[in-house]
Amino acid sequence: MPPSIEVQHLVKRYKKGDRNAVDDVSFTVEPGQLFALLGPNGAGKTTIVSILTTTLTPTSGRASILGLDVATQASQVRRKVGIIFQNPSLDLNLTAEENIRLHATLYGLYPFRPTYAAMPDTYRQEVKRLADIIGLGSDVFKPMKQFSGGMKRKLEIIRSLIHSPKVLFLDEPTIGLDPASRRNLWEYLTTVRNGNGMTIFLTTHYLEEAEQSDMICIINQGKVAAYGTPEALKAQLVAQSYLLVDSADREGLRTELTRAALPFEETPRFKISLASQSAQQIIRRIETPLSLVKTHIPTLEDAYLSIVDNDND
């Protein structure tokens, strides 16, 4: 079984660009994985998504979806993928149902009919089912202009899944959504993914969304800055784990730490690195009564910021 996505030495330079927007990027996404592509604004994330979804031609390199070349087998690739664009791509002049119908007929799932009533029963049942899933009910026949941002996003996701894509691209899908809408959207996506084993390719600025992914690729200035599982990326930062302690007798604690040869940094609390010993080992050696004991383990966000900062230096 070919990988869901395979990118090899991909390069893209825009006509008016003075540098490569994507510069020798390679990665692989296996079937069923949730893959997160992270990077600061302008890093090249949307460019990569555009190339993989066949709306942009690469300058060099190769990219394939389920073994199909995106440059030479574009039409077949389009049948296999679903896309949620960074900017909403709904037609606000149409109703929600008309947007769904437009997508369904373009993908050849149903023959064109000018009205909902003239569409086959199977289509009408499907629309009712989808409208219930996103809590639209009969509002599915109202113009899109009346919908909230969260509802529009959800409709886009539902629309993109109608043709049962094998790979779903989500380009910053929750940008501009309130926390409740974001959570709601991810619950729905998780349900869908668990149900059909679809591969999801995600670009996002929200690190907690990427935390649940199987693999992460961090790109910066068009190049791959890091690539691996969330745990592996965080593990690179193990040296940044530390123990934070404090005491009412600060002078006593300072003297004790110095005598025990435990290197510390006053921030003004006492920050002790966990790179070479565990928190328990350190605490066991302290007799001064402590008013604060706190450990800090690097998050994905720490890893991301560290990788991007180091890369920029």
Min dist CB 100 to another protein, Å, is: 12
Nearer to another protein, 65 or 286 (CB): 65
Residue of the chain from 2, 9, 42, 57 that contacts another protein (CB under 8 A): 57
Q: Which whole-number Å values give the CA distances from 147 to 97, 151, 290, in the listed order?
A: 13, 6, 54
Min dist CB 148 to another protein, Å, is: 18
Residue of the chain from 102, 151, 175, 290 that contacts another protein (CB under 8 A): 102
Please give the Cα distance from 33 to 182 (Å, whole number).
20
Residue of the chain from 88, 149, 228, 246 that contacts another protein (CB under 8 A): 88
Please give the Cα distance from 169 to 186 (Å, whole number).
14
Indicate whether 67 belongs to the interface with another protein (CB under 8 A): no
Nearer to another protein, 62 or 254 (CB): 62
Strands 270-273 and 264-266 turn out to be antiparallel
Contacts of 235 (CB under 8 A, 6+ apart): none
Min dist CB 193 to another protein, Å, is: 21
Would you call 256 helix, strand, or coil by DSSP?
helix
Strands 292-296 and 167-171 turn out to be unpaired
Indicate whether 53 belongs to the interface with another protein (CB under 8 A): yes
Q: Which residues pair with 271 in a beta bridge?
A: 244, 265
Residue of the chain from 8, 72, 89, 196 that contacts another protein (CB under 8 A): 89
Contacts of 267 (CB under 8 A, 6+ apart): 244
Indicate whether 138 belongs to the interface with another protein (CB under 8 A): no
In 113-152, DSSP assigns E strands to none
- Residue span binding another protein (CB under 8 A) among the ranges 60-68, 74-82, 214-222, 243-251: 74-82
- Angle at the Cα of 249 from the Cα atoms of 245 and 252, rounded to 5 degrees: 90
Min dist CB 85 to another protein, Å, is: 5
Two tokens at 250?
Answer: 């600060």
Indicate whether 103 belongs to the interface with another protein (CB under 8 A): yes
Residue corresponding to tokens 């030479």: 72
Enclosing H/E stretch for 49: helix 45-52
Q: How many residues bind another protein (CB under 8 A)?
A: 32
- Residue span binding another protein (CB under 8 A) among the ranges 49-57, 117-125, 199-207, 266-274: 49-57
Nearer to another protein, 55 or 255 (CB): 55
By the criterion CB under 8 A, which residues form the site for another protein?
A: 14-15, 53-57, 75-76, 78-79, 81, 83, 85, 87-94, 98, 102-103, 105-108, 111-112, 114
